[in-house]
Structure 1
Amino acid sequence: MTRPTPLSGFPEWLPAQRLAEQQVLDRLRRTFELYGFAPLETRAVEPLDQLLRKGETSKEVYTLRRLQAVDGVDDEVSLGLHFDLTVPFARYVLENAGKLQFPFRRYQIQKVWRGEKPQAGRYREFLQADIDIVDRDTLPPHYEAEIPLVIGDALRSLPIPAVRIMVNNRKLCEGFYRGLGLGDPEEILRIVDKLDKIGPSAVAELIIGAGGTEAQAKACLALAEIRSQDASFADAVRALGVEHPLLDEGIAELAAVVETAREHSPGLVEATLKIARGLDYYTGTVYETELVGYEKYGSICSGGRYDNLASAGKDVFPGVGISIGVSRLLGLLFDSDALAVSRPTPTAVLVALWSEEERAGSNRIAAALRARGIATEVAPVPAKLGKQIRYAERRGIPFVWFPASASAEGGDQVKDIRSGEQVAADSGAWNPPAADMAPTLQ
């Protein structure tokens, strides 16, 4: 077999990185469940008409086709891999509404697929961790203030740089654009969403190309420059001299989010009025999250309020949610050696092997340690003692257990190969220090 060619955009972590990923997921789960979110997993595929119903996503969707035609007929492609977890969640709510209790709080940790160009922190297959709250008919706005607090606690549970959650409100932006007299607010939102990628001059040109005047483009850019960690952003918006009822509604909703966050978690949330989010199913508050020191790579966590995504006839289930790009976050941290685990293997103890005839005794010791929750393995071969210790060192195993040999006096001994300390030990009672029971994030 020839050496395989790497496939870009589909990350495969090394074992130590996978251990780190699992511990990150465990901490996220704990935080989500502390806030009352229940776990959920949806299928990987959705009908294409559902995937393409909202947002500019057609170029990103991976479609599915069977290799072999059925009865000689090649079925039309009708399924695609989901590009986020919000669209399948909305479908799930509609299908199971009669079995769910509302407001329904769920977390979902699952892979998604997007046909994007791979680059630093951006993949074609990646893991997301989502939380959403949906209700029937109406969703109280206080949930829009709760979502960033949950994410703040979740990310603070990790040994990673600080985060800044930037919030805006689509009503504020749309009301401002309508107050300016711009005819297609949604198009202007999509243009402004490109501000960090293409810069203000290019954004102004696009606004003018979409039917705006130079003065209107200037006003849109002035709005996008406003930032604050309290409700003072409202004064800055009103100073621009634009009026519209939807603008007032958006200002009030955004102020409530910012002030709630300022009371409970100062410095976590910032009103940033350039934030728009490209997917058009968002209708109110929107979020993007920067990792301090990694701002140039863009948001590692985003989401917002959606009122019409989960709807069928008279049944409407408005919601609000946010998604952590777990693979994106980890990839950036791994590449900069900013996140690791204390050892690259779960094994805490290697039981030495004197000879193949004494393997059964080493196996009994390992079984006794495992029965008490201590990850243990037996040396692969009865090599010289120094080689067995070096094997443990290469694997990152902190302790080596020396069984009492049938040909020697004395009992079992265990050695911490980092410090060299060696003590008598009983496999039914000995425990490693708590910090060595399992790999830990660092």
Structure 2
Amino acid sequence: MSKPTPLSGFPEWLPPQRAIEQYVVDRIRSTFELYGFAPLETRAVEPLDQLLRKGETSKEVYVLRRLQAAAEDASDESLGLHFDLTVPFARYVLENAGKLTFPFRRYQIQKVWRGERPQEGRYREFLQADIDIVDRDTLPFHYEAEIPLVIGDALSALPIPKVRIQVNNRKVCEGFYRGLGLTDPEAALRAVDKLDKIGPDKVAELLTETAGATESQAKACLRLAEISAPDTSFESAVRALGVEHPLLDEGLAELVLVMQAAAEHAPGLCVAELKIARGLDYYTGTVYETQLVGFERFGSICSGGRYDNLASAGNERFPGVGISIGVSRLLGLLFGADALSVSRPVPTCVLVALPTDEQRAACDRTAAVLRRRGIATEVSPSAAKYGKQIRFAERRGIPYVWFPGSDGAQDTVKDIRSGTQIDADPMTWTPPAADLRQQITRP
């Protein structure tokens, strides 16, 4: 067998990085549960007609097919791996509406797959952490103001750089475009959403080609997209552009409320950024994108928004609002910058030294006592000289070595970093709190 080569876009973290990822996921999960979100996991595959019915995603979906499926067997051809967790969640709500209590709050932490070009912080297989709130028939607006506050708490609890949540409302953009006289506001939204990627000149061309905008209409769209404010002053800036439409009024009022709630709960967390549109067609109200301060050039690490019609079938309608943290994206950027570290590469706190092979059972009992008290422990793999066993612990990053007493003598434990060695009883000895678990820090 030839030496395998890594697959681009499918990250496999080393154990220290995986430990950081698990820590991050645990902290995010804990915050979500503090806000009352219940855990959920959906299947990895969805029918293609569900995956492709909203937004420009057809080029990103991985299709599921058995290698040796018979030509006449098309049972798998209509299935694809999910590219996000919102579309599967909407399907789940429709299927289980009779068993759920509304408004339904759920969190979901799972892998997703997208067939896009891999680059730094962007993968084909990656972990997302989502929250959504859905209700039957109508969803009160105040949930749109709550979502960024949850994310602010979740991310501020992590040892990562500050985040800034950019907020807009699709009604502001759509109402503005309709007020200008554009007849295809969705095409205009998709064009403006590419502003950071292709620049204003190319966006102006797209607005003309795909949304039917005149030169003056395209310039007005770009002027709207230039508006940014850390407070509610964006409203007067939009009004100054002289465009009027009832939907624009509604969107501005809602965006003001979001910014006011953010200013009260977490000053400086949110900024009104009127170029934020979100490319997926199912968003209908508030939209969010989150930048990691110092890593802005890589784009959003957390995004989402309000959707009214995604979870709907016939007369059943379940509007919702949600947001997704790109866990792998966030960590990939920080790992690439060496911006996160772990205090030791393994969970093990104590290595029980093995005097002889005949004493392994006794050493296993000592290790079991320590583990029952919550101290991660392993027994030395062999009865080598103690110097070799200590070096083994050093290579593994294990801070303490436990030496069984001989001829009735007391056991001892050694901090191999400082060289300090003391008498110890496995029933009572406890390491310092900083050594009990792996610690995640920023260098």
TM-score clears 0.5: yes
**Distance between the aligned counterparts of 2:362 and 2:261, measured in 1?**
61
TM-score (norm 2): 0.98
Moved segments of 4+, more than 3 Å = 70-76
Over 3 Å counting, the alpha-carbon distance change for 1:76 and 1:89 in structure 2 is: closer
Q: Does the alignment pair 1:121 with 2:121?
A: yes
Uncovered stretches (5+) of structure 2, i.e. residues with no partner: none
What CA distance in whole angstroms lies between the structure 1 residues aligned with 2:34 and 2:291? 24
Question: Contact 1:28–1:155 (CA<8 Å) still a contact in 2?
Answer: yes
**3-state SS of 2:440 partner:** coil
Matches of 1:441 and 1:28, distance apart in 2: 14
Per-residue deviation, residues 274-301 of structure 1 (Å, max 9, x unmatched): 0000000000000000000000000000
Distance 2:127 2:406 in 1: 49
In structure 2, what is the Cα distance between the partners aligned to 1:201 and 1:279? 22
Q: Number of residue pairs matched?
A: 440
After TM superposition, give the deviation of residue 72 of structure 1 in Å.
5.9
Greater Cα offset, 427-436 or 143-152: 427-436
Which residue of 2 is the match for residue 154 of structure 1?
154
- Cα displacement string for residues 333-352 of structure 1 (whole angstroms, at most 9, x for unaligned residues): 01111112111101000000
| Paired residue secondary structure (1:366) | helix
1:387-415, Cα deviation, whole Å (9 max, x unpaired)? 11111111110100000124xx6210001
Q: CA deviation at 1:427?
A: 0.9
Deviations 1:125-172 (A, max 9, x none): 000000000001100000000000000000000000000000000000
TM (normalized to structure 1)? 0.98
The 1:301/1:73 distance shift into structure 2, 3 A limit, reads: closer
- The residue aligned with 1:429 is 428
Secondary structure in 1 matching 2:259: helix
State the 1:73 CA deviation. 3.8
Report the CA distance between 1:53 and its aligned residue.
0.5
Question: CA distance change for structure 1 residues 74 and 231 in 2, over 3 Å: closer, same or farther?
Answer: closer
Residues 151-202 of structure 1 deviation map (CA, whole Å, 9 limit, x = unaligned): 0000000000000000000000000001011121000000000000000111
String of CA shifts for 1:99-137, please: whole Å, max 9, x gaps: 111100000000000000000000000000000000011
- Alignment partner, residue 61 of structure 2: 61
**Aligned letter for 1:401?**
W
C-alpha contact 1:129 1:324 (8 A) present in aligned 2? yes
Q: What's the C-alpha RMSD, in Å, of the aligned pairs?
A: 1.1
Q: Percent identity?
A: 76
Instruction: Tell me if 1:312 matches 2:313.
Output: yes
Is 1:374 the counterpart of 2:361 in the alignment?
A: no
After superposition, residues 274-353 of structure 1 pair within 5 angstroms as 274-353=275-354
- Tell me by how many angstroms 1:207 deviates: 1.2
Q: Does the 8 Å CA contact 1:401/1:412 hold for their aligned counterparts?
A: yes
Corresponding residue for residue 110 of structure 1: 110
Distance 2:245 2:299 in 1: 31
Q: Which amino acid aligns with 1:195?
A: L
| Alpha-carbon separation, structure 1, partners of 2:207 and 2:59 | 23
Q: Which residue of 2 aligns with 1:394?
A: 395
Shift, 1:209, TM fit:
2.0
Alignment partner of 2:172: what SS?
Answer: helix
Whether 1:5 and 2:1 are equivalent positions in the alignment is no
Partner AA of 1:42 in structure 2:
T
Describe how 1:407-422 pairs up with structure 2 within 5 A. 410-422=409-421
- Which secondary structure state, in structure 2, belongs to the residue aligned with residue 109 of structure 1? strand
CA distance in 1, matches of 2:301, 2:52: 23
1: distance between equivalents of 2:428 and 2:270?
49
Cα contact 2:38–2:107 (8 A) shared by 1: yes
Greater CA deviation, 207-216 or 124-133? 207-216
Compute the displacement of 1:355 (Å).
1.2
Distance 2:365 2:110 in 1: 39
The one-letter code of the counterpart of 1:36 is G
Secondary structure of 2:342's match? coil
The residue matched to 1:53 in structure 2 has which SS? coil
Deviates further, 345-354 or 210-219: 210-219
Map 1:234-245; keep pairs closer than 5 Å: 234-245=235-246
C-alpha separation in 1, matches of 2:345 and 2:223: 50
Instruction: List aligned pairs for 1:241-256, cutoff 5 A.
Output: 241-256=242-257
Q: Distance in 2 between matches of 1:419 and 1:131?
A: 45
